[in-house]
Amino acid sequence: MSDSWTTSGIDLHVEMKGLGRRRALEAALREAIADGRLPAGTRLPSSRNLAVDVGVARNTVVDVYTQLTAEGWLRARRGAATIVDDRPAAAAPAAAAPAAAAPADSRESWRYDLRPGRPDVSSFPRSAWLAASRRAWNKASDADLDYGDPRGAIQLRAVLTGYLGRARGVRTHPSRIVVCSGFTQAFSLLCHALRQQGASSVAVESYGHPQLRPIAAGAGLGAITAPLDEEGADLASGRGADAAVVTPAHQFPLGRVMSASRRHATLAWARAHGAVIVEDDYDGEFRYDRDPLGALQGLDPDRVVYVGTASKTLAPGLRLAWLVLPEYLAQPVVDVKILADRQTGILEQLTLAEFIASGAYDRHVRRRRLAYRHRRDRLVGALGTGPVQGVSAGLHALVTLADGMAEEDAVVAAAPHGLALEGLDAYRAGPASRPPALVVGYATPPEHAYEKALSILAKLLAVTPARS
């Protein structure tokens, strides 16, 4: 005799405890409603189906429904399903832990967000993505839904090979691409693989992604700070490092482009020390006032690991990134990937493959490149060309503060206006070598909020007092 509502279509366990079958069912339903397992508006199964599920006569269920309706627990209408009625929510048990409050600096808590790190997610091409998803599923085989290649769907790896070659100058083969769940996982997998290959340290730029060091530490790698100058990262002081992470197309967060001579010096350093260069090409598709700059990986595919992502071109929530690896590192990374999560979700992979193959990805990137360039121009127009730097590419700019103005004061002064800002110091890994500045992400706000955000920013930078 079953005590679960399997045939009725409602997956809820009913504890039929003593009392006789009628009283037990009545008590079980009352308890399920009181503790929230059956919230207001839930449609209950027909008396016939529920009677079969719990092994009682149909009249017994009818009596139970009638009694609970009279008590106000249920609501019944002739010819319609019986549903759970609205009642005051039951108090949470005293032992239950309170729900965690959203962090004060979460994206959702700000009216205007000019912090860097993501695109305008309201511009996500929903219709085109859904169409690509439908086409991808129509083409998918049953085997695609099984446990697959840890490197990722061959459809996506093949398409990425062609796209990265023509759009970013990357030289690779599908067998050397590993699809990951975002940049964080990609870098973590690589660090663990390098550690297993005998590496002990990695060089990171003196201003950069703040999570690089803890991710490397989690894999057992120490971090060495590489200074930055006008040409980009200088790895001359990183002799003890087995790898180095650089952002040559658009240094994060300073916005500089690595010079041709420094690019060659970086590769020469790697060859001389038997090291690996990790190229974080986080927003390489977005360029405005300069010719396209190919990936560093194209100059030496056996010495550079290329890391790309859909987080800036499409949306961070897709959690799609890819590692383009030298042949000798491909299998070690795959071995780590198997232990991490076996494989990345197939639906997003197949959809992205179709999205790129159809040309929709290129069209979306071109549209967003034009839109972000206009936003960049509006930022420069609001603040002037003097303080705004690093604007030839990417989705953020470096805004130098006036003499005597502290980053923290600007951030604090913006908060009452609902404006989120971030200072350059949040990205510093070594001694301060730059004057106070804000890292302004001009892609983040939706279009309807952007003008107001710029207006608030311009006024604040003109009146924010220096720290006493």
CA-CA distance, 42 to 40, in Å (whole number)?
Answer: 6
Q: Rounded to an integer, what is the distance from CA 184 to the centroid of its chain? A: 9
CA-CA distance, 234 to 265, in Å (whole number)?
Answer: 9
- For the chain, helix (H) and strand (E) counts, in that order, are 13, 16
In sequence order, the 6+-apart residues with CB closer than 8 A to the CB of 183 are 280, 282, 307, 309, 311, 321
Spatial contact of 430 and 208, defined as CB atoms under 8 Å apart: no
pLDDT per residue as tens digits for the range 166-208:
999 999 999 999 999 999 999 999 999 999 999 999 999 999 9
> What mean pLDDT do residues 333-361 have?
97
Spatial contact of 152 and 333, defined as CB atoms under 8 Å apart: no
**Please, what are the domains in the chain?**
1-93 (1.10.10.10), 109-118+362-463 (3.90.1150.10), 125-360 (3.40.640.10)
Average pLDDT, the chain: 88
Work out the percent of the chain whose per-residue pLDDT is above 70.
90
Can you give the pLDDT at residue 14?
Answer: 62
Q: Give the other-Cβ count within 10 Å of 290's Cβ.
A: 9
Going by C-alpha positions, the residue among 278, 277, 280, 274 that lies closest to residue 250 is: 280
Can you give the pLDDT at residue 110?
Answer: 87
Residue type, 263: R
Between 76-85, 138-147, 381-390, the lowest mean confidence (pLDDT) is in 76-85
Q: Name the pairing type of β-strands 388-389 and 74-75.
A: unpaired
Spatial contact of 24 and 10, defined as CB atoms under 8 Å apart: no
pLDDT per residue as tens digits for the range 111-170:
999 999 889 999 999 999 999 999 999 999 999 999 999 999 999 999 999 999 999 999
Distance between start and end Cα atoms, the chain? 77
| Residue 399, phi-psi category: left (phi > 0), alpha (psi -120 to 50), beta (remainder) | beta
Can you give the pLDDT at residue 107?
Answer: 57
Q: What are phi and psi of 179, to 5 degrees?
A: -85, 135
pLDDT per residue as tens digits for the range 254-273:
999 999 999 999 999 999 99
pLDDT per residue as tens digits for the range 202-234:
999 999 999 999 999 999 999 999 999 999 999
pLDDT band at 388 (very low <50, low <70, confident <90, very high): very high
pLDDT over 60 at 4, yes or no: no
Q: Identify which has the larger pLDDT, 391 or 465.
A: 391
Sheet with 177-180, side-by-side order of all strands = 177-180, 321-324, 304-309, 276-280, 243-246, 201-205, 222-226
Cα–Cα distance list, 162 to 165, 183, 296, 300, 337 (Å): 5, 21, 17, 18, 23
Of all helices (H) and strands (E), which one includes residue 455? helix 447-463
Can you give the pLDDT at residue 296?
Answer: 96
Can you give the pLDDT at residue 92?
Answer: 41
CA-CA distance, 196 to 274, in Å (whole number)?
Answer: 16
In sequence order, the 6+-apart residues with CB closer than 8 A to the CB of 288 are 369, 372, 373, 376, 391, 392, 393
Spatial contact of 343 and 419, defined as CB atoms under 8 Å apart: no
In sequence order, the 6+-apart residues with CB closer than 8 A to the CB of 354 are 132, 133, 135, 136, 139, 155
> What mean pLDDT do residues 49-64 have?
86
Burial class of 136 by CB neighbour count within 10 A (0 to 12, 13 to 18, 19+): buried
pLDDT per residue as tens digits for the range 289-299:
877 789 999 99
Q: What are phi and psi of 49, to 5 degrees?
A: -65, -45
pLDDT per residue as tens digits for the range 40-49:
888 888 888 8
Q: Is the C-alpha dihedral spanning 293, 294, 300, 302 positive or negative? A: positive
pLDDT band at 105 (very low <50, low <70, confident <90, very high): low
DSSP symbols for 14-65: ----SS-HHHHHHHHHHHHHHTTSS-TTPBPPPHHHHHHHHT--HHHHHHHH
pLDDT per residue as tens digits for the range 235-248:
987 678 999 999 99
Can you give the pLDDT at residue 102?
Answer: 40
Can you give the pLDDT at residue 10?
Answer: 56
What tokens were used for 340? 């991490």
Q: Identify which has the larger pLDDT, 166 or 464.
A: 166
CA-CA distance, 221 to 66, in Å (whole number)?
Answer: 67
Can you give the pLDDT at residue 241?
Answer: 94
Q: Give exposure, 232-269, as e/b (b: 16+ Cβ within 10 Å).
A: bbbbeebeebbbbbbbbbbbbbbbbbbeeebbebbbeb
In sequence order, the 6+-apart residues with CB closer than 8 A to the CB of 85 are 40, 72, 73, 74, 75
Between 31-35, 298-302, 328-332, the lowest mean confidence (pLDDT) is in 31-35
Spatial contact of 122 and 446, defined as CB atoms under 8 Å apart: yes
Work out the percent of the chain whose per-residue pLDDT is above 90.
66
